[in-house]
């Protein structure tokens, strides 16, 4: 968690940072920024933090000017010696308003309130993503490819394909051990069209069907994939792909 401190009194800022570090050991403390101008300059060059602890009266104005001039959406806990700004503070993403001198327990409650709000927000986002996934239509994968034969094109059902092999052209090898020229020119395009639960890109040259894999064996480079007869081809699988391949096979 990144916490930005906006405070113009050095001793107050030092004490506030000490308390925050006691309460949030793993938090990254940014600042303190002592003025409106320094805060505006900082936001112009950095992404917003997770939380802001901000004094209201600064050396060159009030911190509300920062929020008026910069697009800031993260939560803010305001700290001030005066209570006259309370109503205005809650119009600027404020989740709490603490009077100085800052009480340790009040700051702890404010931080707990922040974490509770963030947790509920994350849960809400997860639910939204789940609903979007649930309502998303199931992707349909290509059921057949066209093969160039003589002067025409012949359809080849995807479930008949043992693997695709890139040479100068892309070739389709069928379960009946036919070698056919594919209409596509790249394996990347074919890979995007077939079901990833059924086909796996072993390397740059081969995209294989799960039923064409006979076994795998470990090598000093990583792992080799052996295809079933009648092909009996041994394909090199890089170390980076081993985990994904095992997951695919299982």
Q: Look at domain 144-249 and name its CATH class.
A: mainly beta
Bond from prior residue into 230 cis (ω within 30 degrees of 0): yes
SS3 175: coil
Each residue's pLDDT tens digit, 192-213: 999 999 999 999 999 999 999 9
In this prediction, residue 61 carries a pLDDT of: 87
Query: Is domain 2-114 in CATH 2.40.128.280, yes or no?
Result: no
Show the low-confidence residues of the chain (pLDDT under 50).
Answer: 122-124, 127, 130-131, 134
Look up the pTM and report it.
Answer: 0.47
* Segments making up each domain of the chain, as ranges: 2-114, 144-249
Same fold, 2-114 and 144-249: no
140: which residues sit within 8 A by CB, 6+ positions away?
Answer: none
DSSP H helices, the chain, are: 10-23, 36-45, 64-69, 86-89, 104-135, 187-193, 239-249
């Amino acid at each position: 968690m990144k916490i930005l401190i906006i405070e113009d009194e050095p001793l107050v800022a030092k004490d506030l940072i000490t308390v925050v570090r006691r309460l949030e050991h793993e938090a990254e403390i940014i600042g303190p920024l002592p003025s409106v101008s320094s805060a505006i300059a900082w936001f112009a060059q950095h992404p917003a933090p997770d939380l802001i602890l901000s004094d209201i009266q600064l050396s060159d104005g009030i911190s509300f000017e920062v929020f008026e001039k910069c697009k800031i959406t993260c939560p803010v806990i305001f700290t001030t010696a005066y209570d006259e700004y309370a109503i205005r503070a809650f119009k600027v993403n404020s989740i709490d308003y603490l009077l100085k001198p800052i009480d340790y327990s009040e700051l702890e409650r404010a931080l707990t309130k922040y974490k509770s709000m963030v947790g509920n927000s994350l849960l809400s986002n997860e639910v939204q993503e789940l609903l979007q996934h649930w309502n998303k239509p199931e992707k349909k994968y290509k059921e057949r490819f066209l093969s160039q034969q003589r002067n025409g094109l012949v359809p080849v059902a995807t479930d008949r394909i043992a693997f695709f092999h890139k040479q100068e052209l892309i070739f389709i090898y069928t379960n009946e051990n036919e070698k056919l020229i594919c209409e596509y020119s790249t394996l990347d395009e074919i890979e995007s069209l077939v079901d990833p639960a059924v086909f796996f890109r072993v390397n740059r040259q081969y995209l294989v069907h799960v039923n064409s894999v006979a076994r795998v064996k470990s090598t000093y480079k990583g792992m080799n994939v052996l295809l079933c007869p009648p092909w009996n081809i041994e394909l090199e699988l890089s170390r980076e792909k081993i985990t994904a391949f095992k997951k695919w096979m299982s």
